[in-house]
């Protein structure tokens, strides 16, 4: 599939181009430890989104970005031709930055970036009747998420995954690579399959005082879950 380009008018034609735009977006002003606010860097986000695109999981789809933070994954999905992107984020400050980022790409001429909706809520508050695509509540074709890994709020990652699988049949979710065995058992319990795994070394910037070195990296993997294939 090398060389495949985004065909939707006005959007990005290469992974490198996408990475450049995403790297220029604004990040967290002051990351909140309790909420595990770790941004996905532009290169990693572009790679995840490009894989999604190649597998047919973006073009023309309704994408839900759970725990959207400053919006890098959702904005990128919009740039690659999603039909609609819905960003859900509990932290209003982060969501304001996400809105700025959406305006920025639109003002830079990517005017065909799709309809982007932001919802300032805890993912737990998203009920079926809350929002609609039809009458069934918050539903999408695909969820993309870089959730809290559960180091501050126990099982936060699992709550994100459960919510994601309620929303869509296909879920791209970032987790520590070491969680693979656990996630395989979790998926089996949900009658879902892990169809693909991509591994990354995610830079954790020294946004938090307890980080001693300026940048350290952790091994994370993006897992694609599917309940249909």
The four Cα atoms 29, 30, 34, 38 give a dihedral, to 10 degrees, of 60
Cβ 141 to ligand SAH, closest distance in Å? Answer: 18
Distance CA 180, CA 186 (A): 10
Cβ 28 to ligand SAH, closest distance in Å? Answer: 7
Task: Report the residue number, 111 or 219, with the smaller CB distance to ligand SAH.
Answer: 219
Task: Report the residue number, 193 or 218, with the smaller CB distance to ligand SAH.
Answer: 218
Distance CA 81, CA 173 (A): 20
Task: Report the residue number, 6 or 220, with the smaller CB distance to ligand SAH.
Answer: 220
Cβ 214 to ligand SAH, closest distance in Å? Answer: 19
Handedness of CA 156, 129, 119, 197 (dihedral sign): positive
CB neighbour list of residue 211: distance below 8 Å, 6 or more residues apart = 204
Task: Report the residue number, 81 or 148, with the smaller CB distance to ligand SAH.
Answer: 148
CB neighbour list of residue 79: distance below 8 Å, 6 or more residues apart = 6, 11, 12, 18, 21, 105, 110, 113
Task: Report the residue number, 4 or 199, with the smaller CB distance to ligand SAH.
Answer: 199
Pick from 25, 6, 23: nearest CA to 14? 6
Cβ 188 to ligand SAH, closest distance in Å? Answer: 25
Cα 148 from chain centre: 12
3-state class of 159 per DSSP? Answer: helix
Cβ 201 to ligand SAH, closest distance in Å? Answer: 15
Cβ 213 to ligand SAH, closest distance in Å? Answer: 20
Which residues contact ligand SAH (rule: CB under 6 A)? 35-40, 67-69, 72-73, 88-91, 94, 122-123, 146-148
User: Which phi and psi angles does 145 have, rounded to 5°?
Assistant: -155, 145
What counts of helices (H) and strands (E) characterise the chain? 6, 7
Task: Report the residue number, 1 or 36, with the smaller CB distance to ligand SAH.
Answer: 36
CB neighbour list of residue 127: distance below 8 Å, 6 or more residues apart = 137, 138
Task: Report the residue number, 94 or 192, with the smaller CB distance to ligand SAH.
Answer: 94
Cβ 40 to ligand SAH, closest distance in Å? Answer: 3
């Amino acid at each position: 599939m090398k060389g495949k380009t985004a065909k939707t008018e006005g959007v990005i034609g290469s992974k490198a181009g996408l990475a450049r735009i995403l790297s220029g977006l604004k990040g967290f002003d002051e990351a909140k430890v309790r909420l595990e606010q770790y941004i996905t860097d532009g290169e990693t986000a572009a790679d995840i989104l490009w894989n999604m695109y190649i597998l047919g999981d973006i073009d023309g789809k309704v994408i839900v970005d759970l725990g959207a933070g400053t919006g890098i994954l959702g904005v990128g999905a919009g740039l690659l031709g999603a039909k609609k992107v819905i960003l859900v984020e509990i932290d209003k400050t982060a969501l304001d930055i996400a809105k700025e980022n959406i305006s920025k790409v639109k003002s830079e001429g990517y005017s065909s970036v799709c309809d982007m909706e932001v919802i300032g809520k805890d993912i737990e508050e998203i009920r079926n009747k809350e929002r609609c695509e039809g009458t069934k509540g918050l539903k999408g074709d695909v969820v993309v998420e870089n959730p809290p890994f559960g180091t501050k709020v126990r099982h936060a990652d699992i709550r994100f995954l459960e919510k994601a699988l309620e929303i869509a049949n296909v879920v791209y979710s970032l987790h520590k690579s070491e969680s693979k065995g656990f996630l395989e058992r979790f998926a089996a319990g949900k009658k879902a399959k892990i169809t693909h795994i991509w591994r990354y070394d995610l830079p954790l910037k020294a946004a938090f005082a307890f980080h001693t070195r300026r940048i350290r990296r952790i091994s994370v993997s993006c897992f694609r879950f599917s309940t249909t294939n």
